[in-house]
Amino acid sequence: MRIVIAGAHGKVGLRLGRLLAARGDTVLGIIRNPAHAEDLREAGVEPVVADLEVVSVDEVGLAIDGADAAVFSAGAGPGSGEARKQTVDRGAAMLLADACTAAGVDRYLMVSSMGVERVRDGATPRGVDPSFVAYLRAKLAAEDDLMGRELAWTILRPGRLTDDPGTGRVRLAHHVPRGDVPRDDVAGVLAALLDEPATARLVLELAEGDVPIAEAVAAVRHS
């Protein structure tokens, strides 16, 4: 497959790119900082320098033309303010979806976050850092926008991300108890979802667990 990753130098994106390239896929990685290009090449990913906060839909559409799927794993990051969470976690996700529609790229996977429903209808969860609330609101808005499109989308909501080594075993379903999940396993699940067209139009939560990734994806395919 020919796959585009937005946020390809991020902690999930780079893992996913390396995994896809190693199995023989052609991977294009969208990055904002040209200094990150060599890291992508070393991972087997072809860098595409494009700042999704300012680039046009047409420019991104040209860059991803001919791709079989796109994965949005970009994020403004924990140190960013509310404005950048809106322009990246929400706005860039929507722009990539617009570009996919323009370029005829039907399959779209988006990495979101467990807990986004806690901020629906303007709710503010008690004891949650305001910056994280802003992040959840931006992610929820991006999800709602994507679910209104005709694309073959899948939304993945992982729990708290860790840099622990992946186990290859997860808990994946429409709803799972809150928990941690290694970024290695998030990348592994995204790769498996790309191979399962029947997981389109599903919103899935992810945490560490006991089920091998392939089995977990196969199970939700029929749910």
Whether residue 163 contacts residue 182, with contact meaning beta carbons closer than 8 Å, is answered with yes
Count of residues making up the chain: 223
Q: CA 37 to CA 215: how far, in whole Å? A: 34
Active site residues: 135
User: Would you state the structure tokens that stand for residue 66, as one six-digit string?
Assistant: 């001919």
Q: CA 74 to CA 93: how far, in whole Å? A: 8
Neighbours of 33 (CB within 10 A): 11
Give the orientation angle of helix 57-64 with respect to helix 93-103, to 10 degrees.
60
DSSP classification of residue 195: T
Strand ranges, E, within 26-173 = 26-31, 46-49, 69-72, 107-111, 152-158, 160-162, 169-173
Query: Locate tokens 């991972």: which residue?
Result: 43
Name the phi and psi angles at 202, rounded to 5.
-115, 145
Query: Locate tokens 């075993």: which residue?
Result: 169
